[in-house]
Amino acid sequence: MLIRHTGNYNWDDVPVLVYKEQGICFKDITRQVLLTGDSELPCQLRYFEVAPGGHSTLEHHQHVHFVVIFRGEGDVLLGDRIYHVQEKDVIEIPAHIWHQFKATANVPLGFLCLVNTERDKPILPTEDDLKLLQKDPAIAAFIR
């Protein structure tokens, strides 16, 4: 199967969805599901794009993400560290690690993300979680 790139980070017959989770709409982020595997490869390959100034959810979960930065640059919180990332960087997000992507430059941040098709729901921070995270000034300034 070939899914043809049709220009401008869109692919043939792949709808561009506004990214939502648990009824919450996150800031300036779209999702495209490029491939959904079968029992031999029970995973999905998605393309997310965060507009300049936008961000993904601050979350953690049991399932793991493999991410490849595909377009632009930005910053990512991984556990207790913030990294600047750019095209072709590869990221593993292990189970139950707080993570959030931000398009901090003046360009979109686009990334491919591989996940299990069957996966647990992300856990969002409680007030107590936020207080713990905010003990680190860099993280306090980063998270949205």
**Catalytic (active-site) positions:** 113
| Long-range contacts, stretch 13-18, CB < 8 angstroms, 24+ apart | none
Query: The tokens 């600047």 sit on which residue?
Result: 84
Output the CA–CA distances (angstroms, integers) from residue 13 to 34, 43, 133, in the order listed.
9, 19, 40
Token pair for 113: 């993300």
Question: Which residues, 6 or more positions from 41, have their beta carbon under 8 angstroms from its beta carbon?
Answer: none
